């Protein structure tokens, strides 16, 4: 649970630094286009460039490697899994083979190349999203989403997910502590049983919590309208300059990635 | 004039629990009313009828001499605001500012007026510097204050609170009660507060109603209600702690204490009177048994 809490903590986005001060729409423009280019790339150069640039930008606002590592852990593990699977099952040219537990395993060059491309795309894409999450609060993202005319219902759901994610973690932690203190995790069988009852209880509690939240919202006049109120400030000259700079940067990166 | 009038309210939950069995209560405009009762006495159910969240099986609730059912949709919530017991149930936005703005936005106010109300409400609960803070980063006491601010931003005429001090440390209790006291005495907001914490009642409230088994058994001033400790015990309630001490001194040590002080201030005055400065020791000797 500690790792999970560390992963979802958002205190970096609440800090004041040069990256958090950048207008959210500029950041969404850069990161949105960056993600598209990352996915379309057919070479590892562009994803790696996105990875490195995002990493450098995050280091300027003193985000620790441990924090980054914890947040990247799951996607990286997934990327490594894809790399291995691709290497084993795709291609013809065997570059390495061996036996494991009686099974013949052969890594092929073409498969590893595809796997590596996918791995770097995962790394580049995740690092771009981390750049957004470390420097932008959810409220600003929702405000920008409204400016982009994304349906209000989706924005509502996004804000609720953010709000109740932390509550869910807290409730889970409380129940797990309670189970642990009553020897709920001393054996594998008991662990599975405890997880089962934890999951079921969380579902019931979520339904009750949702009902209570709805009652509270109705008693404050809610009838399906918008949940969030705060507005974005109008774009200033500095923001337009940043838009232009991001556009030029993305063009340069595309040239390097696609045509170099 | 009665702000809220409840006549013979009966309410049964779908699982068959009879929560209210003919509750009657009248709430005067501008008063600070405490509804005292043990757990399961029907306090929360009664409170939820005051703003129409629950509909009774029979009986009536009127607000400003008008039946709740006669109000237009949302009008009751504009006049009667409710703060629930668990802050997690009613803090629904990502940040403090957004959550407090939720109510005024639903009232159809424009952005400037909404933010003005948000600032005023946060000022009233002494949480203005927390405006941009994430909800999940608030402490329990801070969450409770933001819940109150969220309702205050709607500028209600009546404020209902369900056990607002439960789970708070002594300093938190003091802060919340001071806020409520100021709202009642300075802003004239009618406050109805459900609690089983008897110590708060004589300090802050004008009137007390005692509930048991879905019925309001007794109503009156704290001085009138807290006279019969045996009756209170039978309702799973107690006298305020200081009153319990004074009762023991009266009954066991035969000190001439009448009426029974209900607050520390009253007890201090009573004891100071008993052990007055002139002829301190002789006077004390004549009162206390050998």
Is residue A47 domain-resident? yes
Q: Is A215 on the interface with B (CB under 8 A)?
A: yes
Domain co-membership, A237 together with A163: no
Q: What is the average pLDDT across A10-37?
A: 90
Is residue A247 domain-resident? yes
Give the CB-side neighbour count of residue B25, counting CA atoms within 13 A. 30
Instruction: Please state, in angstroms and rounded to a whole number, the distance separating the CA atoms of residues A96 and B49.
Output: 75
Domain co-membership, A167 together with A132: no
A chain contacts of residue B81, beta-carbon cutoff 8 Å:
219-220
pLDDT higher than 80, residue A1 = no
Is residue A142 domain-resident? no
Task: Name the band, by pLDDT with cuts 50, 70 and 90, for residue B279.
Answer: very low
Do B260 and B224 form a contact (C-beta atoms < 8 A)? no
Range scoring the smallest mean pLDDT among B154-163, B206-215, B225-234: B225-234
Which residue range(s) make up the domain with A89?
1-136+232-260
Domain co-membership, A216 together with A243: no
Domain co-membership, A120 together with A181: no
Could you give all domains of chain B from N- to C-terminal order, each with its CATH number? 2-239 (3.40.50.300), 240-290 (no CATH)
Chain A residue with the nearest C-alpha to that of B155:
A220
Model confidence over A204-257: pLDDT tens digits?
989 998 999 998 998 898 887 777 887 888 888 888 999 899 999 899 888 887
Query: Which pLDDT score, from 0 to 100, does residue B130 have?
Result: 95
Domain co-membership, A120 together with A14: yes
Model confidence over B45-87: pLDDT tens digits?
999 999 888 999 999 999 999 999 898 877 888 899 999 999 9
What ipTM, to 2 d.p.? 0.74
Task: Kindly report whether the global pTM for this prediction surpasses the value 0.90.
Answer: no
Q: Is B261 on the interface with A (CB under 8 A)?
A: no
Tally of structural domains, chain A? 2
Domain co-membership, A77 together with A122: yes
pLDDT higher than 60, residue B287 = no
Domain co-membership, A19 together with A75: yes
A chain contacts of residue B136, beta-carbon cutoff 8 Å:
163, 166-167, 170
Q: Is B101 on the interface with A (CB under 8 A)?
A: yes
Of A142, A167, A220, nearest to B136 by CB-CB distance is A167
Model confidence over B98-147: pLDDT tens digits?
999 999 988 889 999 999 999 999 999 999 999 999 998 899 999 999 99
Task: Name the band, by pLDDT with cuts 50, 70 and 90, for residue A2.
Answer: low
Query: Which pLDDT score, from 0 to 100, does residue B6 have?
Result: 94
Number of A/B CB contacts below 8 angstroms equals 98
Domain co-membership, A213 together with A260: no
pLDDT higher than 90, residue A128 = yes
B chain contacts of residue A8, beta-carbon cutoff 8 Å:
none
A chain contacts of residue B103, beta-carbon cutoff 8 Å:
220-221
Give me the phi and psi of B201, to 5 degrees please: -60, -55
pLDDT higher than 90, residue B23 = yes
Is residue A157 domain-resident? yes
Chain A residue with the nearest C-alpha to that of B105:
A229
Average pLDDT of the residues of chain A: 88
Is residue A141 domain-resident? no
Domain co-membership, A74 together with A126: yes
Is residue A183 domain-resident? yes
Is residue A18 domain-resident? yes
Q: At what angle do helices A138-147 and A24-40 cross, to 10 degrees?
A: 80
Element (H, E) at B170: helix B170-187
Domain co-membership, A7 together with A79: yes
More confident residue, B162 or B233: B162
Q: How far does A222 lie from chain B, in Å, by closest CA? A: 6
Query: Which pLDDT score, from 0 to 100, does residue B290 have?
Result: 47
Domain co-membership, A168 together with A67: no
Domain co-membership, A195 together with A224: yes
Of B61, B59, B28, the closest CA to residue B47 belongs to B61
Is residue A258 domain-resident? yes
Range scoring the smallest mean pLDDT among A29-33, A130-134, A217-221: A217-221
């Amino acid at each position: 649970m500690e790792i999970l809490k560390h992963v979802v903590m958002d205190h970096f986005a609440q800090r004041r630094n040069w990256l958090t001060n950048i207008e959210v729409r500029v950041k969404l423009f850069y990161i949105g286009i960056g993600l598209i280019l990352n996915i379309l790339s057919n070479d590892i150069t562009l994803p790696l460039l996105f990875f490195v640039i995002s990493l450098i930008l995050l280091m300027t606002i003193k985000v620790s490697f441990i924090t980054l590592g914890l947040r990247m852990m799951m996607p990286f593990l997934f990327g490594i899994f894809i790399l291995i699977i691709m290497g084993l099952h795709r291609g013809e040219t065997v570059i390495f083979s061996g036996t494991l537990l009686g099974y013949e395993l052969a890594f092929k060059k073409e498969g590893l190349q595809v796997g590596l491309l996918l791995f770097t795309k995962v790394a580049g894409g995740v690092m771009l999203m981390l750049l957004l999450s470390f420097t932008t609060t959810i409220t600003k993202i929702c405000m920008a989403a409204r400016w982009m005319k994304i349906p209000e219902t989706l924005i509502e759901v996004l804000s609720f997910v953010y709000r109740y994610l932390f509550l869910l973690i807290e409730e889970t932690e409380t129940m797990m502590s309670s189970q642990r203190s009553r020897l709920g995790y001393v054996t594998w069988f008991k662990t599975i049983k405890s997880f089962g009852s934890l999951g079921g209880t969380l579902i019931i509690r979520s339904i009750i919590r949702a009902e209570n939240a709805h009652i509270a919202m109705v008693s404050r006049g809610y009838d399906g309208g918008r949940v969030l109120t705060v507005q974005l400030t109008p774009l200033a000259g500095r923001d337009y300059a940043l838009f232009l700079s991001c556009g030029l940067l993305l063009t340069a990166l595309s040239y390097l990635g696609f045509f170099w | 004039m009665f702000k809220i009038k409840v006549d013979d309210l009966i309410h049964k939950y779908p699982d068959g629990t009879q929560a209210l069995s003919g509750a009657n209560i009248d709430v005067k405009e501008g008063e600070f009313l405490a509804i005292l009762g043990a757990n399961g006495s029907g306090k929360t159910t009664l409170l939820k009828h005051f703003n129409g969240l629950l509909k009774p099986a029979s009986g009536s609730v009127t607000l400003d001499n008008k039946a709740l059912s006669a109000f237009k949709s949302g009008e009751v919530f504009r006049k009667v605001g409710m703060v629930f017991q668990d802050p997690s149930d009613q803090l629904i936005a990502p940040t403090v500012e957004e959550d407090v703005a939720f109510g005024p936005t639903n009232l159809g106010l424009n952005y400037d007026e909404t933010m003005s109300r948000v600032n005023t409400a946060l000022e009233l609960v002494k949480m203005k510097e927390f405006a941009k803070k994430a909800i999940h980063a608030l402490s329990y006491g801070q969450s409770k204050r933001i819940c109150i601010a969220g309702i205050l931003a709607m500028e209600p005429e009546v404020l209902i609170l369900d056990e607002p001090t439960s789970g708070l440390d002594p300093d938190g209790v003091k802060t919340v009660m001071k806020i409520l006291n100021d709202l009642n005495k300075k802003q004239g907001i009618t406050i109805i507060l459900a609690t089983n914490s008897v110590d708060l009642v004589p300090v802050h409230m004008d009137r007390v109603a005692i509930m048991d088994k879905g019925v309001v058994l007794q109503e009156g001033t704290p001085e009138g209600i807290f006279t019969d400790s045996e009756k209170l015990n039978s309702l799973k309630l107690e006298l305020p702690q200081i009153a319990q001490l004074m009762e023991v001194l009266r009954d066991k040590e035969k000190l001439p204490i009448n009426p029974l002080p209900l607050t520390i201030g009253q007890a201090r005055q009573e004891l100071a009177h008993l052990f007055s400065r002139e002829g301190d020791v002789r006077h004390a000797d004549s009162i206390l048994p050998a």
